Amino acid sequence: MSPTKVAPHLFVILGALGDLARRKLLPALYHLSARGDLSACRILGVDTDDKLDDNGFRAWAHKLLESTGEATSADISQWCAKYLHYFGTGRSPNYLKLAARIEALEREHRLPGNRVFYLALPSGAVPAVVAGLGKAGLSRGPGWTRLVLEKPFGWDLASAQKLNLEVHRYFDESQIYRTDHFLGKETVQNLLVFRFGNTFFEHLWSREHIESIEITVAESLRVEGRAAYYERAGALRDMVQNHLTQLMTLVAMEVPAAFKSEAIRNEKIKVLEQITPIHPQDVVLGQYTSGRIGGEKVAGYREEPGVSPNSRTATFVALKLEVANWRWKGVPFHLRTGKRLPRRCTQIVIRYHCAPVSIFHPFESSCNIQPNVLVIILQPDEGFELLFQVKAPGQPFRLTTQPLHFRYAEAFGKLLDAYETIILDVLHGDQTLFVCDREVEHAWRLYDELLDKDIPVYPYPAGTWGPAEIDKLGASWLNRSV
Ligand X SMILES: NC(=O)c1ccc[n+]([C@@H]2O[C@H](COP(=O)([O-])OP(=O)(O)OC[C@H]3O[C@@H](n4cnc5c(N)ncnc54)[C@H](OP(=O)(O)O)[C@@H]3O)[C@@H](O)[C@H]2O)c1
Contacting residues toward ligand X, per CB under 6 A: 14-15, 17-20, 23, 46-48, 89, 93, 120-123, 125, 129, 150-152
Question: Do residues 284 and 277 touch, judged by C-beta distance below 8 A?
Answer: no
**Minimal CB distance to ligand X: which residue?**
18
32/11 Cα distance (integer angstroms): 13
Residue with Cβ nearer ligand X (62 or 270)? 62
Residues 6+ apart with CB under 8 A from 371: 211, 351, 352, 353, 354
Give the active site residue among 31, 181, 243, 334: 243
Residues 6+ apart with CB under 8 A from 449: 277
CB of 179 to ligand X, least distance (A): 8
Question: Do residues 291 and 328 touch, judged by C-beta distance below 8 A?
Answer: no
Residue with Cβ nearer ligand X (150 or 385)? 150
Question: Do residues 314 and 223 touch, judged by C-beta distance below 8 A?
Answer: no
CB of 119 to ligand X, least distance (A): 7
112/470 Cα distance (integer angstroms): 56
CB of 417 to ligand X, least distance (A): 12
**Among 154, 177, 173, 167, which residue's Cα sits nearest to residue 128?**
167
Residue with Cβ nearer ligand X (219 or 282)? 219
Residue with Cβ nearer ligand X (46 or 102)? 46
Our answer to whether residue 243 is catalytic in this structure is yes
Which secondary-structure segment (H or E) carries 283?
strand 283-289
CB of 461 to ligand X, least distance (A): 27
CB of 106 to ligand X, least distance (A): 20
Residues 6+ apart with CB under 8 A from 480: none
26/20 Cα distance (integer angstroms): 9
**Long-range own/partner contacts, residues 259-263 (CB < 8 A, 24 or more apart):** 259/192, 259/196, 259/432, 260/432, 261/430, 261/431, 261/432, 261/434, 261/436
Residue with Cβ nearer ligand X (180 or 382)? 180
Annotated catalytic sites, by residue? Answer: 243
